[in-house]
Structure 1
Amino acid sequence: MGPSRAEDEAILRRLRIFLSHVGGCNSDLTNEGQLFREATSGRDSQPGSLSIDVLTEIMTGSGRADREKIFRFFEGRPDLQTPVEIGKDAHRELTYKQLIALVRECGVHPMQLLVNDPARYFTVMEAVGFIDISLGIKMGVQFSLWGGSVVNLGTEKHKEIFFDGSNVQGIETTATFDKESDEFVVLTPNEGATKWWIGNAAVHGKFATVFAKLIIPSPSGDSDMGVHAFIVPIRSMADHSVLPGVEIRDCGYKVGLNGVDNGALRFHSVRIPRDNLLNRFGDLSRDGKYTSTLPTINKRFAATLGELVGGRVGLAYGSVGILKASVTIATRYSLLRRQFGPPDQPEISILDYQSQQQKLMPMLASAYAFHFATAYLMDRYSEMKKTHEDAVVADVHALSAGLKAYITSYTAKALSTCRESCGGHGYAAVNRFGSLRNDHDIFQTFEGDNTVLLQQVAADLLKQYRAKFKGAPLAVTWNYLRESMGTYLSQTNPVVTHRDEKMHLRDPRFQLDAFQFRTARLLHTVALRLRKHSKRLGAFGAWNRCLNHLLTLAESHIESVILAKFNEAVKRCQDPDARKLLKLLRDLYALDRIWHDVGTFRNQDYVAPNKAKAIHKQMEILCAEVRQVAGPLVDAFGIPDSLLRAPIGLQSGQYSEYTHYVGFSD
Structure 2
Amino acid sequence: MESRRGNPMAAEGEFSELAATRRIQRLSSHISPAVATPSAPLLQTEACVSRPKKLEVNGEALSLYLRGKHIDIQEKVYKFYNSRPDLLTPIEISMDDHRELCMRQLYALVREAGVRPFLYVADDPEKYFAIMEAVGSVDMSFGIKMGVQYSLWGGSVINLGTKKHKDKYFEGIDNLDYTGCFAMTELHHGSNVQGLQTTATFDPIKDEFVIDTPNDGAIKWWIGNAAVHGKFATVFARLILPTHDSKGVSDMGVHAFIVPIRDLKTHQTLPGVEIQDCGHKVGLNGVDNGALRFRSVRIPRDNLLNRFGDVSRDGKYTSSLPTINKRFAATLGELVGGRVGLAYASVGVLKVSATIAIRYALLRQQFGPLKQPEVSILDYQSHQHKLMPMLASTYAYHFATVHLIKKYSEMKKTHDEQLIADVHALSAGLKSYVTSYTNKALSVCREACGGHGYAAVNRFGSLRNDHDIFQTFEGDNTVLLQQVAGDLLKQYKEKFQGGTLTVTWNYLRESMGSYLAQPNPVTARWEGEDHLRNPKFQLDAFRYRTSRLLHSVAMRLNKHSKTLGSFGAWNRCLNHLLTLAESHIESVILAKFIEAVKNCPDPSARAALKLMCDLYALDRIWKDIGTYRNVDYVAPNKAKAIHKLTEYLSFQVRNVAKELVDAFDLPDEVTRAPIAMQADAYAQYTQVVGF
TM-score (norm 2): 0.89
> What is the CA-CA distance between 1:488 and the residue it aligns to?
2.4
Letter in 1 for 2:494: A
CA distance in 2, matches of 1:305, 1:242: 29
Q: Which residue of the other structure, out of 536, 540, 543, is the alignment partner of 2:570? A: 543
Task: Say whether residues 1:374 and 2:401 are aligned partners.
Answer: yes
CA distance in 1, matches of 2:671, 2:600: 27
- The 5 A counterparts of 1:193-272 are 193-220=218-245, 221-272=248-299
Letter in 2 for 1:207: F
- Who is 1:113 aligned against? 120
Helix, strand or coil at the partner of 2:168:
coil
CA distance in 2, matches of 1:542, 1:56: 48
Letter in 2 for 1:293: S
> What is the CA-CA distance between 1:50 and the residue it aligns to?
2.4
- The 5 A counterparts of 1:79-98 are 79-98=86-105
| Greater shift in the superposed pair: 442-451 or 595-604 | 595-604
Task: Say whether residues 1:343 and 2:350 are aligned partners.
Answer: no
CA distance in 2, matches of 1:367, 1:470: 38
CA distance in 2, matches of 1:604, 1:199: 49
CA distance in 2, matches of 1:331, 1:517: 34
Letter in 1 for 2:135: V
- Who is 2:40 aligned against? none
> What is the CA-CA distance between 1:161 and the residue it aligns to?
1.8
Q: Which residue of the other structure, out of 284, 300, 323, is the alignment partner of 1:273? A: 300
> What is the CA-CA distance between 1:559 and the residue it aligns to?
0.2
Contact 2:491 2:501 in 1 (8 A): yes
> What is the CA-CA distance between 1:483 and the residue it aligns to?
2.3
CA distance in 1, matches of 2:475, 2:406: 22
- Who is 1:3 aligned against? none
Q: What per-residue deviation string (whole Å, max 9, x for no partner) do you get for residues 246-290 of structure 1?
A: 000101110000000000111000010111000000111111111
Q: What per-residue deviation string (whole Å, max 9, x for no partner) do you get for residues 462-507 of structure 1?
A: 0000000111110111000012321122100111111111111111
CA distance in 1, matches of 2:217, 2:135: 35
Contact 2:226 2:291 in 1 (8 A): yes
Contact 1:245 1:268 in 2 (8 A): yes
- The 5 A counterparts of 1:95-244 are 95-162=102-169, 163=173, 164=178, 165-169=180-184, 171-220=196-245, 221-244=248-271
- Over the residues paired in the alignment, what is the CA RMSD in angstroms? 1.0
> What is the CA-CA distance between 1:563 and the residue it aligns to?
0.3
Contact 2:557 2:573 in 1 (8 A): yes
- Who is 1:570 aligned against? 597
- Who is 1:4 aligned against? none
Contact 1:214 1:226 in 2 (8 A): yes
- Who is 1:353 aligned against? 380
> What is the CA-CA distance between 1:112 and the residue it aligns to?
0.8
Helix, strand or coil at the partner of 1:495:
coil
CA distance in 1, matches of 2:333, 2:542: 29
Task: Say whether residues 1:480 and 2:526 are aligned partners.
Answer: no
CA distance in 1, matches of 2:446, 2:412: 39
> What is the CA-CA distance between 1:51 and the residue it aligns to?
2.0
Contact 2:411 2:419 in 1 (8 A): yes
Contact 1:183 1:272 in 2 (8 A): yes
> What is the CA-CA distance between 1:572 and the residue it aligns to?
0.5
Q: What per-residue deviation string (whole Å, max 9, x for no partner) do you get for residues 290-328 of structure 1?
A: 111111111111111111001110000000000000000
> What is the CA-CA distance between 1:118 and the residue it aligns to?
0.5
CA distance in 2, matches of 1:103, 1:277: 28
- Who is 1:430 aligned against? 457
- Who is 1:5 aligned against? none
CA distance in 2, matches of 1:254, 1:548: 30
Helix, strand or coil at the partner of 1:497:
coil
- Who is 2:23 aligned against? none
| Greater shift in the superposed pair: 511-520 or 162-171 | 162-171
Q: What per-residue deviation string (whole Å, max 9, x for no partner) do you get for residues 392-436 of structure 1?
A: 000000000000000000000000000000000000000000000
Letter in 2 for 1:211: F
> What is the CA-CA distance between 1:609 and the residue it aligns to?
1.3
CA distance in 1, matches of 2:632, 2:288: 53
* Divergent runs of 4+, >6 A: none
| Greater shift in the superposed pair: 210-219 or 623-632 | 210-219
CA distance in 2, matches of 1:459, 1:192: 28
| Greater shift in the superposed pair: 347-356 or 52-61 | 52-61
Letter in 1 for 2:301: R
Helix, strand or coil at the partner of 2:298:
strand
Contact 1:245 1:267 in 2 (8 A): yes
- Who is 2:481 aligned against? 454
> What is the CA-CA distance between 1:105 and the residue it aligns to?
1.3
Letter in 1 for 2:217: G
Contact 1:166 1:208 in 2 (8 A): yes
Q: What per-residue deviation string (whole Å, max 9, x for no partner) do you get for residues 111-167 of structure 1?
A: 111111001111111111111110111111110000110011000111122223110
CA distance in 2, matches of 1:209, 1:469: 42
CA distance in 1, matches of 2:226, 2:649: 49
- The 5 A counterparts of 1:647-666 are 647-664=674-691
Letter in 2 for 1:62: K
Q: What per-residue deviation string (whole Å, max 9, x for no partner) do you get for residues 532-575 of structure 1?
A: 11111111111111111100000000000000000100010110
- Who is 2:72 aligned against? 65
Q: What per-residue deviation string (whole Å, max 9, x for no partner) do you get for residues 321-377 of structure 1?
A: 000000000000000000000000000000000000010011100110000000110
Task: Say whether residues 1:397 and 2:397 are aligned partners.
Answer: no
- Who is 1:634 aligned against? 661
Letter in 2 for 1:272: I
Letter in 1 for 2:207: D
Rg larger for: 2
Contact 2:221 2:291 in 1 (8 A): yes
CA distance in 1, matches of 2:386, 2:80: 35
> What is the CA-CA distance between 1:638 and the residue it aligns to?
1.2
Contact 2:511 2:540 in 1 (8 A): no
Letter in 2 for 1:152: N
Q: Which residue of the other structure, out of 587, 591, 595, is the alignment partner of 2:618? A: 591
Task: Say whether residues 1:519 and 2:526 are aligned partners.
Answer: no
CA distance in 1, matches of 2:269, 2:67: 42
- Aligned residue-pair number: 619
CA distance in 1, matches of 2:244, 2:647: 75
Q: What per-residue deviation string (whole Å, max 9, x for no partner) do you get for residues 16-39 of structure 1?
A: xxxxxxxxxxxxxxxxxxxxxx99
Contact 1:489 1:520 in 2 (8 A): no
Contact 2:350 2:394 in 1 (8 A): yes
Q: What per-residue deviation string (whole Å, max 9, x for no partner) do you get for residues 554-603 of structure 1?
A: 00000000000001000101100000000001001001111111111111
CA distance in 1, matches of 2:516, 2:548: 6
Percent identity reads 71
CA distance in 2, matches of 1:469, 1:57: 44
Helix, strand or coil at the partner of 2:524:
helix
